[in-house]
Structure 1
């Protein structure tokens, strides 16, 4: 065969990478972009992709050039980059006020790998089995306490449930004597996430600057820092109780108390505190949002709702329930944009060369709503995931690569058990059939009305979603 005039991918010279300085983005101010991203987290990013392409620049991280990635192949390249090329620690800077700088979320390279490997047993194996069994019972008890026969935003009730689940992960059966107060303090601290002030990187400010912000009471920072001090005291008390008891376990605190650093010393009190608070922040906000988004879509899709009810009532299978959870996480990922990576060494992604001092940010929302990846992406179709596992680069609600969320399996169990319990015991009445608007809550995306539903005790086998007019 004559191939003299045939051009193949192997014979084509590779095009030189485009410098990141050529990547376009909106020209509005940092504050304007930040507000848009907080108020319209998905829609704003979609607007930018339409205008500037699959990679674009945003100005929402002071001191860094931030570039958004929205193509699964580019995301895969980012996930596979060596740990000394891309760092994630600085990507959690806005949450430093909650969980400090010594925990897994702030570590990179060998330190991150070592800590992750050490903590892993507390969320896998026997520990996961114990947690799964507890979640099933906790879902029954929690849902039974939620209001009946009146329309309420379910989000606060769901969020309190997820906090109790993380208590199980962190403390296991050894519940601290101060848990009731600790729960209230953590709950109060997390209220800051509904304010734009939650994204202010106070650790980068001078003490005087922080003092000025605390004086502006509506921001909520003064109350937050007072509650944080009390939270630290209560966590220290809980840890001391456990050390004194000497009781073993497979819960996270027990695992961490048995861990050592490179020099053989145990984790410090600060490191223990930071890891625990990471779980109470990252492990609760996201799952609560995911459950609320599941309810939002289920109560607007009668065919999906009917099929899911039939599976729960008649088959004993959870295949369609699992697919429904996967689709909810695709359609409205709680973390619409996963942890940014700081470029430490030059890297080429998608034909663009990024230099040290810049950051790359994969948008789960944009990847999940790419019609080339998911046809009719705004439709809610659990069938997409029947008989197939989600792609690790095109389905990224839990991030990916070396820093994929450790609690992903627990979150999915929580979602499934709450949905199962709600649908088993209640008719779901939705007083307002208008679609929920996504709004930012810290780094998460949550329904603006908080999944407002009326739970009516189920007294018959044929359940349904009814509109306000019945």
Structure 2
């Protein structure tokens, strides 16, 4: 099969580079072939065509189900984590039907119902941190977003199941905290159950315990249906497709695992990157605090959500360090031409979010953190796509952005932070995401005092 701009590096070396340092792999390839190139990687089939030109990405995403199709089979690498009935692995009409069942739970109109939970949990966790003591922002944001997801998705506010899942889910994912341990997913010969002390054996046993808890909660919820509950599990149990069919227990389990694992880990990483960049750039921090101070002591969550500079900071964070490096892979269905290159049916295309966000022609000085670029220009869905695009755009986008804004705003409005290490944080593979390698080591130096409060204190009459 004729493919565009094939990299000349030995396939095995490419696969090792892709697992160990995907950013370096993609950037080196893009230096040779800026818009489109063919690589030999692992995870989506042996040969993949990386695409990062906005016009080509638009062509791919606007022709979903026609010239190009999202084939769930190309995501089999994540089946061990989320299950075979996950939306990630479905395709065609079954994917469309199940997506329609899940979508209402993540509609933007539902976000205000989750606001109090998010702000309360954020305040609770930051209040527990002592002053002038180092902590890893990534670890803390993981704890916060995990608790949010367990409450919003499963409806667990207290009890033994909540405590066990708070322990087991991070423990299971922590197995893939580095490029080396992440290789368990990419190389099937490493997936050997050699007992509970072997990495894969421990993963399987953790997953089994998590499954037991989830299936037990599903069974209890089916027996005690409460129309007044607003959590996503309750909504999914009640949901029916066009034929009147509800989800099976396995389908519910797999969707819940998908939502929980994708929802908390990715959002936590994005918030940690946000804290890093805000405090790495003093002028950004100063400007953001001035904007937050205009809302007073008890701001309405939707007022926070609509703040323009906070929105720009979040967008720039997701631009410079997209948590997910690529869109859902697409497979060519008929002979087509892309950027002047002929492609035959069966070719696998991977729209690269990371490389698109690093294009100099779209984002001048792409390595610089500049939120103002999102105030000065409106980017198209094919130029800025941190949540993918087309029919496979991330369902949890609204909840992720809502959490990111509220948690950053709540933390910064109450406390003053400082980075412990001023050296640049580097992105590192953590499973299928790009997380800060050092975890963003920070310290709380004091409580934040609103500027308006300072003015009032200095102008108040002395009695």
CA contact (8 A) 1:54 1:71 kept: yes
Q: Map of 1:166-177 to 2, 5 A cutoff? A: 166-172=149-155
- CA distance in 2: counterparts of 1:127 and 1:174, whole angstroms: 18
Q: 2:401 maps to what in 1?
A: 412
**Matched position secondary structure for 1:386:** helix
- CA distance in 2: counterparts of 1:266 and 1:415, whole angstroms: 32
CA contact (8 A) 1:94 1:199 kept: no
Residue 123 (structure 1) aligned to one of 86, 94, 106: 106
**Matched position secondary structure for 1:375:** coil
CA contact (8 A) 1:336 1:445 kept: yes
Asked if 1:24 corresponds to 2:13, the answer is no
- CA distance in 2: counterparts of 1:441 and 1:315, whole angstroms: 36
Q: 1:86 maps to what in 2?
A: 69
Residue 202 (structure 2) aligned to one of 211, 223, 226: 223
Deviations along 1:399-455, one digit per CA (max 9) or x if unpaired, are 011111111111111111221122122221222111001100111101100111111
**Matched position secondary structure for 1:337:** coil
**Matched position secondary structure for 1:21:** coil
- CA distance in 2: counterparts of 1:387 and 1:53, whole angstroms: 25
Residue 39 (structure 2) aligned to one of 58, 61, 64: 58
Q: Compute the TM-score of the two structures, normalised by the length of structure 1.
A: 0.86
**Cα separation, partners in 2 of 1:113 and 1:174, compared to 1, 3 Å:** farther
For residue 359 of structure 1, report the CA deviation from its aligned partner: 1.2
CA contact (8 A) 2:169 2:210 kept: yes
Q: 1:141 maps to what in 2?
A: 124
Asked if 1:45 corresponds to 2:34, the answer is no
Q: Compute the TM-score of the two structures, normalised by the length of structure 2.
A: 0.87
Residue 398 (structure 1) aligned to one of 345, 367, 387: 387
Q: 1:281 maps to what in 2?
A: 261
Q: 1:453 maps to what in 2?
A: 442
Asked if 1:245 corresponds to 2:213, the answer is no
For residue 261 of structure 1, report the CA deviation from its aligned partner: 5.5
Q: Map of 1:9-408 to 2, 5 A cutoff? A: 20-30=2-12, 32-61=13-42, 63-83=45-65, 85-124=68-107, 126-172=109-155, 178-195=161-178, 196-201=180-185, 213-215=192-194, 220-248=199-227, 249-260=229-240, 264-314=244-294, 318-386=307-375, 389-408=378-397
**Cα separation, partners in 2 of 1:176 and 1:401, compared to 1, 3 Å:** farther
Q: 2:461 maps to what in 1?
A: none
For residue 241 of structure 1, report the CA deviation from its aligned partner: 1.2
| Structure 1 stretches lacking a partner, 5+ long | 1-18, 463-470
- CA distance in 2: counterparts of 1:404 and 1:358, whole angstroms: 21
- CA distance in 2: counterparts of 1:141 and 1:226, whole angstroms: 31
- CA distance in 2: counterparts of 1:241 and 1:103, whole angstroms: 22
Q: 1:435 maps to what in 2?
A: 424
CA contact (8 A) 1:333 1:365 kept: yes
| Structure 2 stretches lacking a partner, 5+ long | 297-303, 452-463
CA contact (8 A) 2:72 2:89 kept: yes
Deviation larger for 343-352 or 411-420: 343-352
Deviations along 1:262-287, one digit per CA (max 9) or x if unpaired, are 76443221111100000111111211
CA contact (8 A) 1:100 1:274 kept: yes
For residue 114 of structure 1, report the CA deviation from its aligned partner: 1.6
**Matched position secondary structure for 1:320:** helix
- CA distance in 2: counterparts of 1:184 and 1:91, whole angstroms: 31
For residue 348 of structure 1, report the CA deviation from its aligned partner: 3.0
- CA distance in 2: counterparts of 1:54 and 1:198, whole angstroms: 28
CA contact (8 A) 2:4 2:38 kept: no
CA contact (8 A) 1:123 1:169 kept: no
Deviations along 1:235-292, one digit per CA (max 9) or x if unpaired, are 0111111111111234321222123457644322111110000011111121111111
CA contact (8 A) 1:86 1:345 kept: no
For residue 104 of structure 1, report the CA deviation from its aligned partner: 1.1
